[in-house]
Structure 1
Amino acid sequence: MLTRFLLLLLALSLTVSEVNAEPVAGRDLSVIVVGGNSNYPPYQFLDKNGRPAGYIVDLTRAIARVMGLKVEIKLDDFGQILKGLDSGDIDILEGLSYSEARAREYEFSTPHSIIVQAIFARKGTPAVKSLEQLRGKKVLVHRGGGMHGYLQEKHYDADLVLTDSPRETLQELAAGRCDYAVVALLPAMYIIREEKLANLVPVATNVAPQRYYCYAAKKGNAELVAQMNEGLSILKKTGEFNQIYDKWIGVLEPQRTSWLVVAKYAALVVIPLSLVLMGTVLWSYSLRRQVAQRTESLSNALAELQRNQQQLVQADKMAALGILVSGVAHEINNPTGIILMNMPTLKKIFRDAERILDRYQEEEGEFTLGGIRYQRVRQEVPLILDEIQDGAQRIKKTVEDLKNFARKDDEAHKEMLDFNNVVRTAVRLVDVATRKFTNAFSATYGDGLPLVFGNEQRLEQVVVNLVMNAGQALPDPSKAIALRTWHDVATGRVMLSVHDEGTGISPEHLKHLTDPFFTTKRENGGTGLGLSISANIIKDHGGEIAFDSGVGEGTTVTLALPAAVAGRKNGQ
């Protein structure tokens, strides 16, 4: 009996080691320690056996599998986990809400979840529709959570009653400690169902800006975050991401689906009864009415789906460019603005000083300023000031181009475009990188191109990708890149070609260039998504993209877009 008891204790200790193992000196650095909140269902929590479970836990394990990583998942109180990340005992967090303040301290992955905040109350409590209506009322909120910080920023401190977890928040609300609580919608619905808190209901949703939930590591650990990003991309491509989402998140939305099913079967019952009881005319009227209602419901559902998809696409794009632009553009524009504002004053000062210095030279003879003869200073300083001003203007223009490129682009928004202007903007964006790749870059823009109908940012993205790929293919800067636009009158299309004198592409690889995740540059950080995305963008615009290459012969990429109106010229 004693032997069986000791064996049981040993088995239990091995079972919980994944959760409770504390980092020790000399731990295996090949194992990535992933930290998470032990009480934030359905995203991450400890199950009844004390093991990590939940949506992000399954996601982490799937990423580790497809990326060949060894991970140890450690769930604990959120405050302790955050301390572990800061001390280095934990390598990366499974879930941390993105904010600009946190982005200065942590590296964030592409979002894997969108957190929606809601106000909960007991049944029968007077309803509120916004956070503003909670002022002056005692409100339960989870200490240290995303909404705690948000409400503090909005100066709700005096109204807040803090708890140690979302679960405790809802339990206290159900027991009548306060009348209202602000909790993330999905975790709250999960806890209400699990704890059978039948007297609680959401009285308002989307009461605060949606928060993106991401993997997060300390600054300087961007490589690990990049691995998580690549794993997420693979799971989305294979469909496993949706399977994990449906397992944990989809089950919390049964009412919406069940009501659609009920409506469907109710219609199947009502329509035959209408045929029997009300006749052909009344049945036709009822059928038209139901079709209109269903059409409206489907339209609303499609619009909601498109909005959600655009949010995730935009979040991916911002992970790559938006954070850079929002942070760096501000830092660049401030000193650039100071230069542009002060430069006219400096020019006036120097012009006034010239008269004094000229008289001094007449009286005292030749002299030097800063070790340079005055006559040379008099000739070159105005030119130097002009160069500084022109350089600052160029910096400002480049930053504006980056901000426009990273701006949220609505795929439904297309307009008549001057394709030459689109290409010029893209060339400016990659100007610095291009000069590193080659000493012989040329761009020839055809005259009188017809307008094209499209999305400016998406087309800029394609041109940037083609020029960057051409540069990366060059063996040394002596090799050239040539870009050209023209109008193919015979086919009524606007054309772009990008030719490089690079190493070329082998025939077996040429047919796979636009396949997702296919790349010949994976050792240099390539993901194999650039040309696939570009091909889809051009296809969406009704165009075509073609490749002509041979090993050692360079590569030519040709892009064709239909003219918006045959024969219509720019500026007409």
Structure 2
Amino acid sequence: MRTRYVLPVLTVASALALSGCVDNSQPAATGPASASGTAAAVDVKKNDSIAASLPEKIKSAGVLNVGMANNYPPNEFKDDNGAPAGWSVDLTNALGKVMGLKVNFDIGTFDNILPAVRAGKDDMGMSSFTDTKEREKQVDFLNYYSAGIQWAAPKGKTVDPNNACGLKVAVQATTYEDTDEVPKKSKACTDAGKPAIQIFKFDAQDQATNALAVGQVDAMSADSPVTLYAISKTKDKLQTAGDAFEVAPYGIPVAKGSDFTPVLQKALQSLIDDGTYTKILSKWGVEAGGVKTAALNVASKG
């Protein structure tokens, strides 16, 4: 669950020393993630009716510009060739196919995505945004997934997320786990006269996972699909710590009141209805968080 950037409490500059512990390459498929590759995997076809309803500016350009920070596996990351990969990438490519558009991933920092969408530089974002009431003041969100928070610990070690006082916990910087969840737990510790949680912040999720795998920290907190994928890629070095909690919607940010939003909503719903959406999630093992309805601005309605 990603939120806006805040200054780190503790920055860990040890990515190089920790590299090589986790393999974040795509499962089964090889080569760059592209619209054509996704189509071949799940047979996505253009929907002429939906494509015809696109705003003229996007239709005439024939390109869907998508803001993304590709450092959050398995949702969005770089494959071995440096191309965007992950189930969010596959889903975005499928949406492009439905609308008859070529997808252009505008790769950058997470913080710059919402401003780019608001300014019209990007037509949408796709970067595991948690839909919140505060963010809905800036953009509209098309909700496409539900994710909770899931902690991980070394294999065989018992860690209770609700009793983690004094532990070292890895998070990816700017995520909800970094800015809200773990700090709140730490404050509860100090309010009770117990040691604070030591929060280790990393620029990329694989760095946080590596820190846990090599024993630099005691636990890790991330979105449920991210944690489960990380565990699967560490060859039994890690395990879940407790159950997932604080389930919240992921949303695709689009400019408020945009004529593109209802078209995108129809495209996503078509993928849900014909089974393509579930096939994409299942490919990455994240189908548990799938939705049945492409709803708008769920945070403000719930």
Q: Fold conserved (TM > 0.5)?
A: yes
Q: Which residue of 1 aligns with 2:236?
A: 198
Q: Is the 8 A contact 1:120 1:200 kept in 2?
A: yes
Q: Which amino acid aligns with 1:68?
A: G
Task: Return the structure number with greater helix share.
Answer: 1
Displacement of 1:80 in angstroms is 4.5
Equivalent-residue separation in structure 2 for 1:16 and 1:204 (angstroms): 33
Q: Which residue of 1 aligns with 2:252?
A: 215
Q: Secondary structure at the match of 1:40?
A: coil
Q: Which residue of 1 aligns with 2:136?
A: 103
Q: Which residue of 2 aligns with 1:225?
A: 261
Q: Does 1:178 align with 2:210?
A: no
Q: Which amino acid aligns with 1:79?
A: D
Equivalent-residue separation in structure 2 for 1:53 and 1:229 (angstroms): 22
Q: Is the 8 A contact 2:117 2:123 kept in 1?
A: yes
Which of 135, 138, 147 is equivalent to 2:168? 138
Equivalent-residue separation in structure 2 for 1:165 and 1:29 (angstroms): 33
Q: Which residue of 2 aligns with 1:89?
A: 121
TM-score when scaled to structure 2?
A: 0.67
Equivalent-residue separation in structure 1 for 2:200 and 2:133 (angstroms): 26
Q: Secondary structure at the match of 1:125?
A: coil
The one-character-per-residue Cα deviations of 1:66-95 (angstroms, maximum 9, x if unpaired) are 223343123344235455445543231113
Q: 1:239 to 1:125 in 2, by over 3 A?
A: closer
The one-character-per-residue Cα deviations of 1:218-237 (angstroms, maximum 9, x if unpaired) are 3343x222222110111122
Displacement of 1:167 in angstroms is 0.8
Equivalent-residue separation in structure 1 for 2:130 and 2:298 (angstroms): 18
Q: Pairwise mapping of residues 28-427 of structure 1 onto structure 2 (< 5 A)? A: 31-82=63-114, 84-85=116-117, 88-94=120-126, 95-109=128-142, 111-128=143-160, 131-151=161-181, 154=184, 156=186, 159=197, 160-194=199-233, 196=234, 198-206=236-244, 208-221=245-258, 223-249=259-285, 312=291, 319=296, 323=300
Q: Secondary structure at the match of 1:71?
A: strand
Q: Is the 8 A contact 1:215 1:228 kept in 2?
A: no
Displacement of 1:133 in angstroms is 0.7
Displacement of 1:105 in angstroms is 1.5
Percent identical among aligned pairs is 25
Q: 1:243 to 1:228 in 2, by over 3 A?
A: same
Q: Which amino acid aligns with 2:272?
A: K
Question: How many pairs are equivalent?
Answer: 238
Higher relative contact order (CA 8 A, sep 6+): 2
Equivalent-residue separation in structure 1 for 2:228 and 2:78 (angstroms): 17
Equivalent-residue separation in structure 1 for 2:185 and 2:159 (angstroms): 22
Q: 1:124 to 1:241 in 2, by over 3 A?
A: closer
Q: Aligned Cα RMSD in Å?
A: 3.3
